[in-house]
Homo-oligomer: A and B are copies of this chain.
Amino acid sequence: MTLASSADDRRYVLTLGCPDTTGIVARIATFLAEVGGSIVEAAYHADQDTGWFFTRQAVRASSIPFGLDELREKFASVAADIGPQTEWTLSDTGKRKRVVLLVSKEGHCLHDILGRVAAGELDAEICAVIGNHRDLEPVAQRHGITFHYVSFPKDPAERGPAFEQVRKLVDAHDPHAVVLARFMQVLPEELCEHWAGRAINIHHSFLPSFIGARPYHQAFTRGVKLIGATCHYVTAELDAGPIIEQDVIRVSHSDSVSDMVRQGRDVEKLVLSRGLRWHLEDRVLVHDSKTVVFR
């Protein structure tokens, strides 16, 4: 699960989902063996509930005698053979994935992601940071990353053009991930669909508890003994998208709302950075409203 720090660490990563039947693993494994593929990581899941099959395989790139395009072409016929509902991807860890970050005023998630990229800990190219406030512009600049300010009108009904502007700025990079790093704006339905499977949000509660605004206030009022954060794909229904990762931290009666906000930030950062890493490493497969995460 380490980054591609040397030529031999380069991997081709296959993900595949399809209705479960006998022989799928054999077909894939036989194909990979025939092309000489040295499998470094392989994970499978057959969902008894939905009858769906999922796999992720990482193959040492140097073990394949031809390039990714040819591998894709050859595998396409295997996939077709498996069945018409088969969904698959093949990616190259040697090519850095592109990420655009949407932010507002709170900087802890932005700081954390940029810090991890700078430290070589998260293998991604941060193409741009887009904010509906200028507060975090210096943070992006300090890391040499373009910051776009998009003004959002107070009236939600008038925000269409602002979202249209965000869409263009994002799409210019054709990113693998659009991260709502405490963006605090509800995406319009058409953007949710347009970025389906790529838009990742961090919600500052342990969903489905405390959906919507001011979850720490809700948690304080309810008197819960643990607070949490949830990283999920964005869908049209608010805070209801497929969950990638969650975690919690213990609180007590002595913690005020601002104590919860402070401690919660640490959970948000960790949960978002894990979820984003897994997404970029093609470890997250979505089916219906749930995820399979091959950690």
Flag A46-77 by CB within 8 Å of B: 1 or 0 each.
11110000000000000100000000000000
Residues on B with beta carbons closer than 8 Å to the beta carbon of A256 = 1-2, 48-49
Asked whether A289 and B223 contact (CB < 8 A) given A1-B254, A30-B29, A254-B41, the answer is yes
Query: Are A246 and B270 in contact (CB-based, < 8 A)?
Result: no
Flag A75-89 by CB within 8 Å of B: 1 or 0 each.
000000000000000
Q: In the complex, what's the smallest C-beta–C-beta distance from A69 to chain B, in angstroms?
A: 22
Q: In the complex, what's the smallest C-beta–C-beta distance from A261 to chain B, in angstroms?
A: 9
Query: Are B223 and A290 in contact (CB-based, < 8 A)?
Result: yes
Residues on B with beta carbons closer than 8 Å to the beta carbon of A265 = 121
A6–B98 Cα distance when bound, in Å, is 42
Residues on B with beta carbons closer than 8 Å to the beta carbon of A108 = 115, 119, 121
Taking a contact as CB atoms closer than 8 A, the residue among B1, B26, B33, B250 that contacts A32 in the complex is B26
Query: Are B2 and A259 in contact (CB-based, < 8 A)?
Result: yes
- Among A108, A254, A256, the most chain B Cβ lie within 10 Å of the Cβ of A254
> Is A146 interfacial (CB-CB < 8 Å)?
no
> Is A45 interfacial (CB-CB < 8 Å)?
yes
> Is A222 interfacial (CB-CB < 8 Å)?
yes
> Is A196 interfacial (CB-CB < 8 Å)?
no
Residue of B with least CB distance to A121: B262
| Interface residues in A133-159 (C-beta closer than 8 Å to B) | 142
Stretch at the interface among A163-171, A175-183, A186-194, A204-212: A204-212
Flag A1-34 by CB within 8 Å of B: 1 or 0 each.
1100000000000000000001101111110111
Flag A247-285 by CB within 8 Å of B: 1 or 0 each.
110101111101100100110001000000000000000
Query: Are A33 and B22 in contact (CB-based, < 8 A)?
Result: yes
Residues on B with beta carbons closer than 8 Å to the beta carbon of A111 = 115, 119
Flag A206-228 by CB within 8 Å of B: 1 or 0 each.
11111000000000101111101
Residues on B with beta carbons closer than 8 Å to the beta carbon of A266 = 270
Interface set of A (CB-CB < 8 Å, partner B):
1-2, 22-23, 25-30, 32-34, 36-49, 63, 107-108, 111, 115, 119, 121, 142, 206-210, 220, 222-226, 228, 242-248, 250, 252-256, 258-259, 262, 265-266, 270, 289-293, 295
Given contacts A223-B289, A226-B248, list 10 more A-B pairs with CB under 8 A: A1-B256, A25-B33, A30-B30, A108-B115, A206-B226, A207-B224, A225-B243, A250-B250, A253-B293, A266-B270
